[in-house]
Amino acid sequence: MTVYIDVLFIINLIINYFIALAVASLLQINCKRLRIFAGAVFGALYAVFIFFPELNFMYTAVSKLLASAVIIFISFKIHSLKHFIVLLFNFYLISMLFGGAMYAIQYFLAPPVLNVRNGVTYMDISPMLLILTSAGCYIAIHLFSKFFHRNVHTDDIYETEIYLNGTAAAMDALLDNGNDLCDSLTGAPVIIAEYSKIEKLIPKSLRHCYKTGVMADPSVLEAAGFNKRFRVIPYKSVGSAGGVLPAFRPDKLVVKGADIECTDVLVAVSDHKFSDDGSFSALLNPRIFRKAVPQIQKAAKSQK
C-alpha cells in the first residue's frame, strides 16, 4: 500500500481537530480554536511517525498515552488533575466514536482503501468527504451535548471585565440567581470573583489579605490607597456556617452581551474555584441586571 505523507497528515489533522471540538462541546468548555488547531497539528505529526513500523517505540501504550496527554495540554486550559482526567477520558471516548464513523464509511460507501495501523487512520478518500464526515460526527455530538445539557443555561455565562486604576481583568461570569449579596452600607450589589482572575488588580501589599481572607491592617490599606475601596462582605451558604469575604469597589464593571456597565458594584474575592471545567470564574449578582434594565431601555429610546 502506498502511503502519502501529506494525505496522512491532513486526514489526522482534520480528525483530531473535530475530536477536540467535540470534547469541548460535550463538556461545555469555552476554548480557543487556535489552541485546538495547535493540538490537532501535534496529533497529526505524531500520526505521521507512528504509522511507520520502524518506529515501534512510538506506538507503545505509554507513548500513545503521553501523546494524548500532550494533545490535551495544548488544546485545553487544565485547571486540576481531575479536570485533566475528565478531558482525557472524553478524548478517548469521542475518538472511539469517530473511529466507528470511519468504519461506517468503509461499510456503506466502500472507499477504495481504509487502513488503520497502530491506531492511526489512513484512507484513500476525497478531502471533501472526509471534512463532511468529521463535521457530521462533530455536529451529532454537539447536538447530543445540547440535549444533555438542556437544563444548564449556558446563555447565563457572560464575558465580564472589571476595571481598576486603568487595568482590566477579564473573565467569564455566571449569572447566579442565588447570589443576593449586597453591601450593608450602600446597598450596592456584590459579585464574587476568583482570586486568580483579579490578582493583578490588587496592590501587592494587600494580595495576602484577598487571597486568604485575613483582614489587613488599616494603615496598610491607607498606604495602598485602598481604604475607601475596601469592604468586608458577610455571607452564608448551604451546608456552611458562612463567613466574610474581602471585597473592593472597582472603577467599573462591564458585562458584555448584556450592554451593562456600572460603577455601583462591589467585587468580593474568593480563593476557591467556582467551576471544575473552568467555564466561569465569577458569580454575577442578578441585581446588576435589574438595575441596568431601566438604563438600557432609556438608551434604546434615545437612539430612536
- Catalytic positions: 176
Cα(160)–Cα(246) distance, rounded to whole angstroms? Answer: 20
**Residue 49 CA neighbour count, 13 Å, CB half:** 14
The answer to whether 121 and 16 have CB atoms below 8 angstroms apart is no
Tell me, what amino acid is at 51?
Answer: F
Tell me, what amino acid is at 17?
Answer: Y
Cα(182)–Cα(287) distance, rounded to whole angstroms? Answer: 9
Output b/e per residue, 105-126; b: 16+ Cβ within 10 A: beeeeeeeebeeebebbbbebe
The answer to whether 250 and 143 have CB atoms below 8 angstroms apart is no
Q: Which three cell numbers stand for residue 150?
A: 438542556
Helix/strand/coil for 95: helix
Residue with cell 464593571: 253
Pairing state of beta strands 240-248 and 167-175?
unpaired
